[in-house]
Structure 1
Amino acid sequence: MTQDLDHPEQLRRLVAAVALGDRAAFRRLYDATSAKLFGFALRILRKDELAEEALQDAFVSIWHAAAGYQPHLAAPQTWMTTIVRNKALDILRRQDDTVELDAQQFDTDLLLAMQDPAAGPHDRVQMRDEARALAYCMGVLEGRQRQAIGMAYLHDLSHSEVAAQLSLPIGTVKTWIRRGLEKLKTCLSKREPA
């Protein structure tokens, strides 16, 4: 049964049910994805207890953010892996404020984390292509705009929290995020196969 749940369409259905507050669907989503996501967090953090913390934080965010999940932007596994990655990086930042983000390494880590021996070749290609498209389109954004979007959507910060952390007016942050999301949507739609 877990193998069926690894299929992106099944995961999309579970995320949609979680968005409606379905606790059983949340449990099934957790059971189907937590082992792979834990492994990904462990690769970043290198300690079981820190990876468990990142996974727990990520699933709290998944529960709260499921209603905002946009399937046309990323496959469910890609979306959840990105949340885990950001929670893991948050933990690293708390330990050492000098952590630098490496977009190339993120792309590589994301692709490695999504490798699933049970996934068919078509699923792997689709996940790899979606991850690359998202990484490419995020890379096209201006640095501060990319940072604001990442903080708001991947770190679950409010616009006012993003503004405070970046020492910017909230109106500027809202404009950057809105325009950045428009650019992402345009970029991703151009990269979709015809």
Structure 2
Amino acid sequence: MSEQTLQGLIGKTALGDRAAFASLYDETSAKLFGVCLRILKDRAQAEDAMQEVYVRIWRRAGSFRAGQASAMAWLVTIARNQSIDMIRSKQPASIEFDDAPEIADEAPDPEAQAALSAEGRRIDACLKELDADRAAAVVGAYVEGSSYQELADRNGVPLNTMRTWLRRSLIKLRECLNR
């Protein structure tokens, strides 16, 4: 159907011509249904949207301006907007700020952060007093979560030797931190 024919049908629809509206429906419903179906991805919802689309076209036909947009673009825009409105209407309403539940901030407060930072510096200083391989093993086991076997393999020592390193290193760390 030509652009001029569509414009004429929309113009007659604006004047309340039901026959022109029926012709407009016959000529454009397949394309507009495709638009609704593509957006909504559900045939039943697309059919519901189509009803609203043609109600809007009937009511708004007088607002169509031939020079501003093509007739089909105007019709597709109505179908697209109706489909998007249907999706939005199904989304849960947002909660008002005053009705929102109170959620505690899980992050430590500034005082706790300062204490943790100071404690971290003390631990780092005590780790530096250990041999480098033993300090790396402690960090690997208790910070990174490596298994004793992984640490033993990484350092090329037997498993029992790694356990001894870690036990003795923890004792030295505790002594250092208690000073």
TM score, norm. by length of structure 1: 0.47
SS at match of 2:67: coil
Matched, 1:28 2:23: yes
Deviations 1:135-193 (A, max 9, x none): xxxxxxxxxxxxxxxxxxxxxxxxxxxxxxxxxxxxxxxxxxxxxxxxxxxxxxxxxxx
Matched, 1:49 2:49: no
Map residues 60-71 of structure 1 onto 2, 5 A cutoff.
60-71=55-66
Q: CA RMSD in A?
A: 1.2
Matched, 1:14 2:9: yes
Distance change in 2, residues 1:71/1:97 (3 Å): farther
Q: Which amino acid aligns with 2:61?
A: A
Q: In structure 1, how many angstroms separate the alpha carbons of the residues matched to 2:47 and 2:70?
A: 23
Identify which of 75, 79, 82 aligns with 1:80.
75
Larger radius of gyration: 2
SS at match of 2:68: coil
Residue ranges of structure 1 left out of the alignment (5+ in a row): 1-5, 99-194
Deviations 1:14-61 (A, max 9, x none): 000001000000000000000110011100000011111111101000
Q: In structure 1, how many angstroms separate the alpha carbons of the residues matched to 2:32 and 2:84?
A: 14
Structure 1 stretches of 4+ with a deviation exceeding 4 A read none
* Count of matched residue pairs: 93
Name the structure, 1 or 2, with higher relative contact order (CA <8 Å, separation 6+). Answer: 1
Q: In structure 1, how many angstroms separate the alpha carbons of the residues matched to 2:63 and 2:78?
A: 13
Following superposition, the deviation at residue 97 of structure 1 comes to 5.2
TM score, norm. by length of structure 2: 0.50
Q: Which amino acid aligns with 1:54?
A: A
Q: In structure 2, how many angstroms separate the alpha carbons of the residues matched to 1:90 and 1:32?
A: 24
Following superposition, the deviation at residue 94 of structure 1 comes to 1.1
Q: In structure 1, how many angstroms separate the alpha carbons of the residues matched to 2:66 and 2:12?
A: 13
Q: In structure 2, how many angstroms separate the alpha carbons of the residues matched to 1:61 and 1:46?
A: 21
Question: 1:94 maps to what in 2?
Answer: 89
Following superposition, the deviation at residue 73 of structure 1 comes to 1.1
Distance change in 2, residues 1:82/1:50 (3 Å): same
Map residues 90-169 of structure 1 onto 2, 5 A cutoff.
90-96=85-91
Q: In structure 1, how many angstroms separate the alpha carbons of the residues matched to 2:47 and 2:3?
A: 24
